[in-house]
Amino acid sequence: GGLTSFQALCTSLAARVGSGNLAGVALAIGAGGPGAVFWMWVTAIIGMATSFAECSLAQLYKEKDGKGQFRGGPAWYMARGLGMRWMGVLFSIFLLIAYGLIFNTVQANSVAHALRFAFNCPEWLTGGALALLTLLTIVTGLKGVARLMQWLVPLMALLWVSTSVMVCAIHIDEVPNVIVTIFQSAFGWREAASGALGYTLSQALTAGFQRGMFSNEAGMGSTPNAAAAAASWPPHPAAQGIVQMIGVFTVTIVICSASAM
């Protein structure tokens, strides 16, 4: 059988949650000002619709392999839905390059730098430890990874959001000002008088959209692979699409907002 909907959600969240939700938010604010946070929220709304579509299609065109597990994703619905197998093969190659050589190095680099500055831990040691932990995780297979993620992902999300709530509680008087500043900076109301409206708005919008898409990965074709592995209930393709919409909301509206605060 396939994964449960919760396991599929946690597996996709494990791919989404990373440096884009933590360091990426700081970079977005640094590049586009506080208004970038608002545009990250906008990407979440758009991304929820995109994620619903791609994950519903993944459920619709999934296949069961020889081990009784479901397989699917963009490569499957490109081949079976559009009848363009070459496109599915090309997409798979690009996905392997993106996640095997680019995205994982970004996450590992963020962890290595954080540990080096905090504890003076050598980068090679951090990289080796991460590689070993990854190996021990993936050798357990898809179901082993999913079982680990269903415990690990809620725990790390809860710890991060709880820490943010504590910080906000300590500085509760500043929270209303922060929210007002986000909306003011998003549309450049303060800068309009100085003639810098166009530049400020474009910087906030660009930084917000870039980091927003990097944080929730909606439309990139990664999460449908996890969504396809689920034995969705109720047994309708749209059910898993709705579940994965929750993932986009969680990583951008909840976790990124917690980081911004």
Q: What is the pLDDT of residue 196?
A: 44
Whole-number pLDDT of residue 125: 92
Strands (E) in 55-132, as ranges, are 63-64, 70-71
Tokens of 196: 């810098």
Place of tokens 């929220």: 41
Contacts of residue 228, defined as CB under 8 A and 6 or more positions apart, other chains included, come to 55, 58, 59, 61, 62, 70, 71, 72, 73, 76
| Tens-digit pLDDT profile for residues 160-204 | 888 888 988 898 888 888 888 888 877 765 544 444 444 444 555
φ and ψ at residue 140, rounded to 5 degrees: -80, -10
Question: How far is it, in rounded angstroms, from Cα 189 to Cα 197?
Answer: 7
For residue 33, give the nearest of 184, 172, 167, 171 by alpha carbon.
Answer: 184
What integer pLDDT is reported at residue 132 of this predicted model?
92
Q: Who's near 93: CB < 8 A, 6+ residues apart?
A: none
Q: How far is CA 38 from the centre of its chain?
A: 17
The Cα 137–Cα 148 span in angstroms is 8
What residue has token string 């994703």? 73
Contact in structure between 127 and 108 (CB atoms under 8 Å): yes
Q: Which pLDDT does position 156 carry in this prediction?
A: 85
Answer whether 223's CB lies under 8 Å from 14's CB.
Answer: no
Given a contact cutoff of 8 angstroms between Cβ atoms, the answer to whether 203 and 32 are in contact is: yes
pLDDT tens column, 192-238: 444 444 444 455 555 555 555 555 566 677 788 888 888 777 778 88
The pLDDT tens digits of the residues spanning 74-92 come to 888 888 888 889 998 998 8
pLDDT in tens, 241-253: 888 888 888 888 8
| Residue type present at position 237 | P
